[in-house]
Amino acid sequence: MSDSEKRLNKEGLLEHLNIQWREYIDDLFHLRPGEKYVYLADRSYKSTQALLACICAYWAEASYAVDLMIADPGAEKFYTSNGGHPLAEQVTSVLLKDFPRHNDGLRKEFIRWLEVMITVVKKLSEENLQRDGIYNYISDITLVRYDELRVKKDN
């Protein structure tokens, strides 16, 4: 990896998780009902519960996948080349069944999984984080998903 490549280091990734995702959940819950409906419909989700279950499922899979990629570098090809997230759909269906339906429960469950993801990143050495497969996977889970799902703030 050349010095000219712009990559998030561990500190930057943790800042992204701690600040941007925490702001995201606050912004999401402060939308008015009509705004929330439009926001969810634009992203093809039927409910806030379904949206948050999907995000949490990505993080649940990431916590498993990153450990697997560190233990078995061959697993990087599986996770980074197939383009999908093999467990996320399964985890989403489990979370949707058991996910709290009231707002405080949704927020707490989201924060719980955010803390899991922060713990996963904290456990990574800088060397492991910068391995292509792991970096790409985590950036997809955290940065790309955030860009896709972020709530646009009124200026």
pLDDT at 99: 85
Residue 6: strand, helix, or coil: coil
In angstroms, what CA-CA distances link 24 with 18, 48, 111, 131? Answer: 10, 13, 11, 28
Q: Answer whether residue 87 is part of any domain.
A: yes
Q: What is the pLDDT of residues 114-155, one digit of tens each?
A: 999 999 999 999 888 888 888 888 888 888 889 999 987 654
Residue 6's pLDDT band, with cuts at 50, 70 and 90, is low
**Residue 1 confidence (pLDDT):** 41
Question: Over 70: is that where the pLDDT of 4 sits?
Answer: no
Higher pLDDT, 3 or 112: 112
Structure tokens at 12: 């930057």
Within-domain flag for 1: no
Q: Which domain holds residue 90?
A: 10-149
Q: Is residue 5 part of a domain?
A: no
Determine the average pLDDT of the residues in 27-34. 92
Give residue-wise pLDDT tens across range 69-110: 888 877 777 776 665 566 777 788 888 888 888 888 999 999
Which pLDDT band holds residue 3 (cuts at 50, 70, 90)?
very low
Q: Is residue 2 in a domain?
A: no
pTM: 0.85
Please check whether residue 51 lies inside any domain of the structure. yes
Q: How far apart are CA 49 and CA 47, in angstroms?
A: 5
Dihedral sign for Cα 36, 40, 43, 49, please.
positive
The answer to whether residue 89 is domain-embedded is yes
Lowest mean pLDDT among 1-15, 23-37, 102-116: 1-15
Task: Say how many domains are in the chain.
Answer: 1
Is the confidence at residue 8, as pLDDT, over 80? no
Task: For residue 94, tell me if it sits in a domain.
Answer: yes
In a domain, 30, yes or no: yes
